[in-house]
A and B are shown apart, each in its own frame.
Chain A
Amino acid sequence: AQSVTQPDIHITVSEGASLELRCNYSYGATPYLFWYVQSPGQGLQLLLKYFSGDTLVQGIKGFEAEFKRSQSSFNLRKPSVHWSDAAEYFCAVGPRDTGFQKLVFGTGTRLLVSP
């Protein structure tokens, strides 16, 4: 079955430390891939997206993500976390055969930043 998995429900990172949030997908063909961030009480904001080409994608707020076809993964990274990065992060996929009609979200990872 097609699915998006974010294995970590919560992650706590010290301010200034590096961050990696995991995302794995299960689809027949490589889908479009996205990361969104949801700050408390806010809607979702697009951080970055991957359609094709360079497998390392740069996004806003200093985030990047790497697409690894062999691992069906699209992990989100940031070299140095700031307290304002505390939020919930969602990985999402859009199957290429249905475009954005069926954008599917993972269950989210809540990031906590400790002083």
Chain B
Amino acid sequence: EAQVTQNPRYLITVTGKKLTVTCSQNMNHEYMSWYRQDPGLGLRQIYYSMNVEVTDKGDVPEGYKVSRKEKRNFPLILESPSPNQTSLYFCASSLTGGIVDYGYTFGSGTRLTVV
């Protein structure tokens, strides 16, 4: 089944403890992206990647890192999480990042709580 898989689904952590949220897609998509969803703010883009070893900042990249060493994986790294990073996170992928495409495929989300 074609899908985007995020892990974990739920995570509670303490301020300052490094964490990684994994994202993997099995569709050979070139483009991957991370979003955070907060009440009243919708989804905001954190980082995106057009292809392996190509990443760029979205609208809210502060406090986050990403890497794209393999086409299928796009982990989101919080080096020193803070309570304002408590949010629902979504990974998404798309066949390409170009102007002719078919929309995103989203993962099921990771609910992160930083205390």
A: residues with CB less than 8 A from B are 6, 9, 32, 34, 36, 41-46, 49, 51, 90, 96, 99-108
- Contact flag A99-B90 (CB < 8 Å), given A43-B108, A106-B42, A107-B42: no
B52-81 vs A, CB cutoff 8 Å, 1 = contact: the mask equals 000010100000000000000000000000
- Contact flag A43-B42 (CB < 8 Å), given A100-B101, A101-B97: no
Docked pose: A108 CA to B44 CA in angstroms: 12
Check if B48 is an interface residue, CB within 8 A of chain A. yes
Closest 3 CB pairs of A and B: A43-B106, A107-B42, A105-B43
B63 → A minimal CB distance (Å):
20
- Contact flag A100-B94 (CB < 8 Å), given A43-B106, A45-B106: yes
Chain B positions within 8 Å of A43 at CB level: 4, 90, 106-109
- Contact flag A102-B40 (CB < 8 Å), given A43-B109, A46-B104: no
When the two chains form their complex, are residues B45 and A102 in contact, meaning their CB atoms are under 8 A apart? yes
B3 → A minimal CB distance (Å):
9
A61 → B minimal CB distance (Å):
15
A-B interface contact total, Cβ < 8 Å? 62
Chain A interface secondary structure, helix, strand, loop or mixed? mixed
Chain B positions within 8 Å of A49 at CB level: 102-103
Docked pose: A38 CA to B44 CA in angstroms: 15
Docked pose: A102 CA to B50 CA in angstroms: 11
Docked pose: A34 CA to B94 CA in angstroms: 14
When the two chains form their complex, are residues B106 and A101 in contact, meaning their CB atoms are under 8 A apart? no
When the two chains form their complex, are residues A103 and B40 in contact, meaning their CB atoms are under 8 A apart? no
Chain B positions within 8 Å of A45 at CB level: 106
| Cβ-neighbour of A107 out of B40, B96, B97 (below 8 A) | B40
Docked pose: A94 CA to B48 CA in angstroms: 14
- Contact flag A107-B56 (CB < 8 Å), given A99-B97, A99-B98, A101-B48: no
Chain B positions within 8 Å of A51 at CB level: 100
